[in-house]
Chains A and B, each alone.
Chain A
C-alpha cells in the first residue's frame, strides 16, 4: 500500500525525518530579468559558484541523507556548461531530477544531451500567454518564442513537462489564454503560483500586486478550469497570501522537507531565508549536509513549534500551518518570530490589509528589473 511521504504513520511529531528535496541553485546567472525573481537582491557572481565536483558531492550527501528529488534551478541552470555532467551524476545516485528552466539558453541538442543523461522532468516558466507581454515582463526579446520551441523539444524527447507561471497584476487576466497554451504545449501539469513578496518581488510589489477583485476573478476561473480539465491537465494553484485569512504551511515547515543550496554553497531551509539577517547559514564547503540538517542553528531556529510566541504558541492551528512563513513575517514586521501577518489572528494583519489595498490601488511604478546575465 502507499502513503504520501508527508504523513509518516507512527513517528512522533518531534522526530526529525529525512529531507525529501534538494533545491540546487546552480547559478544566479540568467538572461531574463523577471521583476518577481525569487533570487536575493544581492546576486552571487560566477567566480564564486560551486564547481562541478563540489555540486556532485552535495548531491551524494543529499542522497545519503534521504533526499529523493533534485531540483536543478537558478537563475538559469542552462547557464552552467557542466549541466549534463550534473544530471548524469544525479541519475547515477538515484535522484529524480527536475530541471527548472526559463528555456531560452538550451537548444535542442543540449536538451537531448540532458535527456540522454537521465533527466526526469522539465519545469518551464512562462511569463504570460502572448509574446509581447511575456517579453516585456521577462525583459528579454524573443524569449517567449524560444520558450515555445523549447517546450516542443521537451515533449519530443518524451520528457514530462510542467508549465509554471508566476501570477501578478500584469498577467492575471491572461489566465484563460495561459491554460489554453499549456494544453497546446502538451504539458503534464500547470503550476500557477501567485508571486510571493520577498527578494525582487518585494522591491517591485507596488507594480506587481493585483487587486482583491482581480484575484477573486482569477481564483474562480482556476477552480472552474481545474474541474473541467481534471483528466487532461492537473493544475496546481498557489493562492496569494496578501488577501488570505490564514497563512500557508510554508515549504511544508521550516527545515522539514527541503534543503536549498545557493550558488556559493550556503545551505538554507527555504530559498528566501537569506532575507532574514540574523541567521548564520552554514556552507557545504565547511560542513556536511547531515550536520547542517541536524545540528545547525539556522535549520533548528524555526523548526517545529518551540520558537513560537503568542498568538501562535497557544493556537489550535499551530501544527497545521506552523505559524506560516518566517520570511514573510520578517519582510512585513521586521521580526521573523512573529506570526505571519497573513493570519487574521496576527496583530499585524490589519496593517497588511491596508498596505495591500494601497499597493493594489497605485498605478504601478515601472519594474525594477533584475539584471544579471
Chain B
C-alpha cells in the first residue's frame, strides 16, 4: 500500500515512542530499530491515530503553526515515508468513509 494524502497512518502496535533523556531526543523503537526524532517529527507522529488522513494532518499543522501547506506537506511526507519504508506504519486507506 502506497503512502498518499488519503492514507490514514498509524504506528504499528509494536512501535514505541519515548523521550530519551540521555540523548535529549525523542526516540522511536521497534524490533532491531531505533530512530531519533526531533520535536516536529514527534508532533507529526502523535497525530497519526489511524482515523485522520495525511491531508488532514497537514492542514491541521499548517493552521496551527501558520506555515505554508506545501512546506508542512513536504515535512510530513518525509517523516512518514521514512517510517513506511521501514515497515513501522500501518496505512489504512480502506477505512475511509
- In the complex, chain A residues whose CB is within 8 Å of the CB of B36: 2-5
Q: How far is A191 from B19 in the complex, measured between Cα atoms in Å?
A: 29
- Taking the complex as formed, is B97 at the interface, i.e. its CB lies under 8 A from any CB of chain A? no
CB < 8 Å neighbour of B18 from A94, A159, A160: A94
Q: How large is the interface on A (under 10, 10 to 19, 20 to 34, 35 or more residues)?
A: 20 to 34
Q: From A20, which residue of chain B is reached at the shortest CB distance?
A: B34
Total residue contacts A-B, CB cutoff 8 A: 69
B86 to chain A, nearest CB (A): 8
* Distance between Cα atoms of A189 and B16 in the complex (Å): 17
Asked whether A68 and B20 contact (CB < 8 A) given A1-B79, A120-B14, A158-B13, the answer is yes
Query: A236 vs B87: C-alpha distance in the bound complex, in angstroms?
Result: 13
Q: Is the CB of A68 within 8 A of B34?
A: yes
With A66-B22, A120-B16, A231-B1: A98-B31 Cβ-Cβ less than 8 Å:
yes
Instruction: List A contacts of B1 (CB < 8 A).
Output: 231
Find A1's partner among B23, B29, B75 (CB 8 Å cutoff): B75
Instruction: Report if B73 contacts A (CB, 8 A).
Output: no
Residues of B15-51 whose CB lies within 8 A of A: 16, 18, 20, 22-23, 27-32, 34-38, 40-41
Are the C-beta atoms of B23 and A66 separated by less than 8 Å? yes
B35 touches A160 (CB 8 A): no
How many angstroms from the CA of A120 to the CA of B31 in the assembled complex?
8
B83 and A2 contacting across the interface, CB-CB below 8 Å: yes
For residue A159, which residues in chain B have a CB less than 8 angstroms away from its CB? 14
How many residues in B have their beta carbons less than 8 Å from beta carbons of A? 28
- The winner among A64, A96, A188, A234 for most chain B CB atoms within 10 A is A96
Question: Given the complex, which residues of A lie within 8 Å of B18, measured CB to CB?
Answer: 94
Residues from chain A with a CB closer than 8 A to the CB of B30 are 96
Inter-chain contact A3/B35, CB cutoff 8 Å: yes
**Judging by beta carbons under 8 Å apart, are B37 and A1 in contact?**
yes
A69 at the interface (CB under 8 A from B): yes
Q: Is B78 an interface residue (CB 8 A)?
A: yes
Judged by a CB distance under 8 angstroms, whether A266 is at the interface is: no
Cα–Cα, bound, A294→B30 (Å): 27
Q: Are A2 and B41 in contact (CB under 8 A)?
A: yes
The 10 closest A-B pairs by CB, nearest first: A66-B22, A160-B14, A96-B29, A121-B31, A5-B34, A2-B35, A3-B36, A1-B41, A2-B37, A2-B41
Sample of 11 further A-B pairs with CB below 8 A, known A2-B38, A3-B35, A69-B34? A1-B40, A2-B35, A2-B82, A20-B34, A65-B22, A66-B20, A66-B23, A120-B14, A159-B14, A188-B87, A236-B32
